[in-house]
Amino acid sequence: MLTDRQLLILQIIIDDFIQYAQPVGSRSLSKKESITFSSATIRNEMADLEELGLIEKTHTSSGRVPSEKGYRYYVDHLLSPKKLTKKEIMAIRSIFAEKIYELETLVQKSAQILSELTSYTAIVLGPKVSENRLKRLQIVPINEDKAVAIFVTNTGHVENKMITFPEKIDMSELEKIVNILNEKLAGVPLSELKDKIYKEIANILRKHIRNYDILLKLITGTLNVGHEKIYFGGKTNILSQPEFRDVSQIQTFLDFIEQEDELYDLLKTNPSGITVKIGTENKISAMENCSLITATYSIGEKQIGTVAVLGPKRMDYSRVISLLKFFSKDLSQVLTKLYQG
């Protein structure tokens, strides 16, 4: 258990380092007004904190720098929520104020504004399409062996995929199937479509339509939606951070970002609420100098997406957390109002 004085010192070290990105020494610490004891005392306390693994030296005679464990402790125990400024609140509200009906645009703007407010990189995992409900299925023939299957959902999202017919297809039968599917499947979440089709609809079709199985297979084959789209804001913001001085590091980092699938794994599995992952806690080498703070957003009670801020380990946790909390709550409210029910 840490003493109050140790907590104070740890807090100041981390706060200072977050602000200036420079190792913090005992002498400069002793000049802070909240500190009433001497630099020698601080040195002693620092030695203890170092032994506990909360801070580190970069070389024998350098000041101290927070360790990963130190950041973790800081986030878990020392963080005081920062109140948002009017300006910040206004900036966020401004997105929701203008009536944007395209979900995509809304999400893209969100990433934009979050990156501007934080000067870090904002990442938004788009709404889970699989949670959307089917509004209409349409199949449009392109030529004799190709067609496009189009799924429109309750949020106005349009998903489409090419179908290639293995043999000549009777268009009128295809049309019949589509009609039946529309009738029976309206309002069903996309994730349950396949299941529902085979459990409840296949039987009906069997009675009415020859070759129903081939056609059905083609349609359900288009239902494997890829992963949700990832939206970025300020992709290069993080490069201005002093920790990204050398080019090779930049390159691995950007490659990781561009790659998207690892990033997607990082974002998709999130419990609701705020999550903070520091450095190696992300389990990805390109991220070992970064921290990722995520929040989830939802329509009604249904959690449908994630919004995140990616910055250096030395990021302003307190501020980013407050921003994300506020932001995700607002976003959820707006979405719920727009698409609930």
Partner DNA sequence: AATTAGCACTCGAGTAATATGAGTGCTAAC
Partner DNA sequence: GTTAGCACTCATATTACTCGAGTGCTAATT
The least distance separating a second copy from the CB of residue 66, rounded to whole angstroms, comes to: 24
CB 152 within 8 A of CB 158: yes
| 186 contributes a contact to DNA by CB under 7 A | no
The phi, psi pair for 6, rounded to 5°, reads -65, -40
| 268 contributes a contact to a second copy by CB under 8 A | no
**How deeply is 306 buried, as exposed, middle or buried, from its count of CB atoms within 10 A (0-12, 13-18, 19+)?**
buried
| 158 contributes a contact to a second copy by CB under 8 A | yes
| 225 contributes a contact to a second copy by CB under 8 A | no
Residue 243 touches which of a second copy, DNA, none (Cβ within 5-8 Å per kind): none
Question: What's the CA gap between 162 and 166, in Å, rounded?
Answer: 13
- Site residues for DNA, 64-83, by CB under 7 A, read 64
**Residue 250 exposure: Cα atoms within 13 Å on the Cβ side:** 12
The amino acid present at 330, given as its one-letter code, is D
Question: What's the CA gap between 187 and 68, in Å, rounded?
Answer: 47
Whole-Å CA distances, 280 to 117, 313, 336:
25, 10, 35
Size of the site for DNA (CB under 7 A): 25
| 41 contributes a contact to DNA by CB under 7 A | yes
| 48 contributes a contact to DNA by CB under 7 A | no
Residue 148 touches which of DNA, a second copy, none (Cβ within 5-8 Å per kind): a second copy
Q: Which is nearer to DNA, 26 or 296 (CB)?
A: 26
Residue 20 touches which of a second copy, DNA, none (Cβ within 5-8 Å per kind): none
Of residues 120, 69, 124, 54, the one with CA closest to residue 328: 124
Interface with a second copy (CB under 8 A), residue from 160, 269, 285, 333: 160
| 223 contributes a contact to a second copy by CB under 8 A | no
Q: Which is nearer to DNA, 36 or 248 (CB)?
A: 36
Reported for 147-153, long-range contacts at CB under 8 A and 24+ positions apart, including other chains, are 147/174, 149/219, 149/222, 151/190, 153/129, 153/190
CB 42 within 8 A of CB 81: no
Report residue 12 CA to chain centroid gap. 30
The least distance separating DNA from the CB of residue 31, rounded to whole angstroms, comes to: 9
**Residue 22 exposure: Cα atoms within 13 Å on the Cβ side:** 6
| 93 contributes a contact to DNA by CB under 7 A | no
Q: Which is nearer to DNA, 65 or 287 (CB)?
A: 65
User: Rule CB under 8 A: which residues touch a second copy?
Assistant: 101-102, 135-136, 138, 140, 142, 146, 148, 150, 152, 154-156, 158, 160-162, 164, 235-236, 239-240, 244-245, 247, 250-251, 254-255, 258
Binding site for DNA (CB under 7 A): 23-28, 36-41, 43-44, 46-47, 50, 57-64
